Amino acid sequence: MDGELSVADVLVVEDDQGCVDLIEEVIRELGHGAVCCERIDDAIKLLGERPIRLVILDVMLPDGDGFGLLQAIRSDPKLAALPVMLCTAALFEVTEYRKPVNDPLTELVSKPFHIETFVQVAERLLAAR
């Protein structure tokens, strides 16, 4: 993208800075820009302020879990069709305590993720929008 600025249309909700840096780099390579935050309240505010095409959402966050934010997104008519990639190292939490995510606009990627898998899922979800 020779000198062209990407539009920040991907929301990354993640509290691990190393993970944020990696995700931002991958999103940039896909021709998009990322806006990042680590708190659910900040994510909700950003979703109301800017056009977002994809949410990349950590499950375990300082102020709650990503499932609550996912539920808020799916229950808001303005956001219900927004693709979400749930990223987590806590697959036990997902499988034992939560219903499986059965939603074509939501995909689960385990951490640490393989870059190829992450890119494939991100591209698929961005194309769905």
Mean pLDDT of the chain: 86
Is 4 a residue whose pLDDT tops 70?
no
CATH level 2 (architecture), domain 8-128: 3-Layer(aba) Sandwich (3.40)
Q: Which tokens sit at 102?
A: 């059965």
Distances (CA, A) of 66 to 7, 59, 88: 24, 4, 9
Read off the pLDDT band of 19 (50, 70, 90): very high
For 80-96, write each residue's pLDDT tens digit: 999 999 988 765 555 54
Number of Cβ within 10 Å of residue 77's Cβ equals: 6
Single pTM value for the model: 0.88
Spell out the domain ranges in the chain: 8-128
- Mean pLDDT score, 65-89: 92
Strand partners, 54: 10
